[in-house]
Amino acid sequence: MSYEALREQVLTALSKVVDPELRRDIVSAGMVKDVHIDGGFVKFTLELTTPACPLREYLVTAARQAVESLEWVEKVEVDVTARVPQQVRSKASMPLVKNIIAVGSGKGGVGKTTVAVNIAVALSQMGAKVGLLDGDIYGPNVPRMLGVQGQPKIVGGKLMPLSSWGIRVMSIGFFIDPDTPVIWRGPMLHKAVEQLLCEVEWGELDYLFVDLPPGTGDVQISLTQLIELAGAVIVTTPQDVALYDALKSVSMFEKTKTPILGIVENMSYFVCPNCGHRTEMFPRKSVEDECAKRKIRYLGSIPFSPELSVGSDIGKPIVVAEPHSQVAIALYEVAKQVAASVSITALSQS
Ligand SMILES: Nc1ncnc2c1ncn2[C@@H]1O[C@H](COP(=O)(O)OP(=O)(O)OP(=O)(O)O)[C@@H](O)[C@H]1O
Ligand SMILES: [Mg+2]
């Protein structure tokens, strides 16, 4: 058989492997690259749509088995890489930043900043290029939670983000005295958001997260006016009031045509550190049920964890301090779900 015929057989076998999230086979989705055949040895690259792909193991195994099932194949080697798709934007602003993701909620104190910081760091640990903009102008908590401080330099008229635990960070907190409250009105706020977002040399980024203040106020409006978001991640706690406010936030983003990437349920259960028993802290599944009803992706739940809170207080995110803890594992899962949701949303628009 000719080399081309063998290659064709490999591609036909691989085209039977379907990515259940993209609902496309891996060949037509352009994920199979560099097929190389040497006798009974086949090597190819599987290019995932994010280094944090939750289906990584499944896809690699399925692809390997598909090729192994060919009679003449003796050995298969799969290289795995990733290329995050770029969201489609009508305005050509910030071309090096592939996806801008807002992290919001209706209610205050539900854990937006904690979740934003940890998933940003988690995605960077998994190999993505990540930035985090502290969009909470009145209460910038990101510098403290990451343990990062300093005056960003200005190079070529642009602000250079600070670097922390592998991610690039910008916050109004780098410029103001932490003890002095910011008392600005809408237009000043808008200008501040614009400068912190658009006048920063972010460089190449797969994901730029924007940690929002609670509610549906000025910053949220400014943000959706200034740039097109790849989507919004909504954080809630399981209580009905929090969920009710989170759904208001969902409506606000929907009105501005921002895709909803999904909802994260924070502080929903507690795992006993002694016996490992899981205790639900509120009636189970109300958030998950609401997501199913509204066809919103449920991005996962994060336990109540004193260690997570302590990590935030000392400026060391739990995914750095205790990456093997239950709460860190839950955060990694959420991070993967967010990345998958971004890829699916971006690809469905292109
Ligand atoms: N899963 C969790 N377990 C325990 N404590 C948590 C958890 N998530 C967040 N916290 C704690 O709850 C408090 C509020 O969290 P955080 O600041 O992230 O909320 P927020 O939604 O960003 O608040 P704000 O609306 O003020 O911006 C912090 O002290 C944080 O450490
Ligand atoms: Mg916050």
Pocket test for ligand 1, best of 115, 309, 314, 333 (most atoms within 8 A of CB): 309
Q: Give the percent of the chain with pLDDT over 90.
A: 79
- The pLDDT tens digits of the residues spanning 269-311 come to 998 888 888 888 877 678 999 999 999 999 999 999 999 999 9
In angstroms, the CA 342 to CA 49 distance is 9
End-to-end CA separation in angstroms for the chain: 38
Q: Locate the ligand 1 atom nearest the alpha carbon of residue 211 and give its number.
A: 22
Q: Residue 219 pLDDT more than 90?
A: no
The pLDDT value recorded for residue 240 is: 87
- For the chain, what are the domain ranges? 3-82, 97-349
Burial class (CB in 10 A: 0-12, 13-18, 19+), 157: exposed
Per-residue pLDDT band at 224 (split at 50, 70, 90): confident
Pocket test for ligand 1, best of 114, 133, 138, 141 (most atoms within 8 A of CB): 114
Question: Is the model more confident about 185 or about 324?
Answer: 324
Question: Is the model more confident about 193 or about 170?
Answer: 170
The pLDDT value recorded for residue 69 is: 97
In angstroms, the CA 265 to CA 85 distance is 26
How far is residue 98 from each of residues 60, 149, 202, 208, measured CA to CA in Å? Answer: 25, 26, 11, 8
- The pLDDT tens digits of the residues spanning 40-68 come to 999 999 999 999 999 999 999 999 999 99
Burial class (CB in 10 A: 0-12, 13-18, 19+), 51: buried
Q: Locate the ligand 1 atom nearest the alpha carbon of residue 310 and give its number.
A: 31
The pLDDT value recorded for residue 179 is: 74
How far is residue 289 from each of residues 237, 295, 331, measured CA to CA in Å? Answer: 14, 10, 21
Q: Residue 215 pLDDT more than 90?
A: no
- The pLDDT tens digits of the residues spanning 128-165 come to 999 999 999 888 999 999 999 999 999 999 999 999 99
In angstroms, the CA 163 to CA 170 distance is 9
CATH class label, 3-82? alpha beta
203 lines ligand 1 (CB under 6 A): no
How far is residue 85 from each of residues 82, 96, 98, 247, measured CA to CA in Å? Answer: 9, 12, 7, 28
Place of tokens 């260690």: 307
| CA–centroid distance, residue 110 to ligand 2 (Å) | 8
Q: What is the second-level CATH architecture of the domain 97-349?
A: 3-Layer(aba) Sandwich (3.40)
Say what the alpha-carbon torsion angle 48, 339, 219, 327 is, to the nearest 10 degrees: -150
Pocket test for ligand 1, best of 107, 312, 313 (most atoms within 8 A of CB): 312
Which residue's alpha carbon is at the smallest distance from atom 11 of ligand 1? 309
24: its two tokens: 């496309």
φ/ψ of residue 308, rounded to 5: -65, -45
Closest CA to 345 of 262, 263, 259: 259
Q: Residue 112 pLDDT more than 80?
A: yes
> How many CB atoms are located within 10 Å of the residue 147 CB?
16
Residues with CB under 5 A from ligand 2 (ion): 112-113
Cβ–Cβ under 8 Å, residues 103 and 191: no
Cβ–Cβ under 8 Å, residues 324 and 312: no
In angstroms, the CA 229 to CA 219 distance is 14
What stretches of the chain show up as alpha helix (H) in DSSP? 3-14, 56-68, 112-125, 142-146, 186-198, 218-226, 240-255, 286-294, 306-313, 318-321, 326-349
Q: Residue 91 pLDDT more than 80?
A: no
Closest CA to 8 of 31, 44, 35, 28: 35
Q: Residue 76 pLDDT more than 90?
A: yes
Per-residue pLDDT band at 180 (split at 50, 70, 90): confident
In angstroms, the CA 243 to CA 262 distance is 13
Q: Locate the ligand 1 atom nearest the alpha carbon of residue 136 and give its number.
A: 27
| CA–centroid distance, residue 148 to ligand 1 (Å) | 18
| CA–centroid distance, residue 308 to ligand 1 (Å) | 9
User: What integer is the mean pLDDT of 7-20?
Assistant: 97
Q: Residue 92 pLDDT more than 70?
A: no
Q: Residue 88 pLDDT more than 90?
A: no
Burial class (CB in 10 A: 0-12, 13-18, 19+), 71: exposed
108 lines ligand 1 (CB under 6 A): yes
Which residue's alpha carbon is at the smallest distance from atom 29 of ligand 1? 309
Q: Residue 261 pLDDT more than 90?
A: yes
| DSSP for residue 264 | E
| CA–centroid distance, residue 247 to ligand 1 (Å) | 19
The pLDDT value recorded for residue 158 is: 94
The pLDDT value recorded for residue 149 is: 93
311 lines ligand 1 (CB under 6 A): no
Three-state SS at 40: coil
User: Quick one: which ligand is closest to 117's CA?
Assistant: 1
Q: Residue 251 pLDDT more than 70?
A: yes
Average pLDDT of the chain is 93
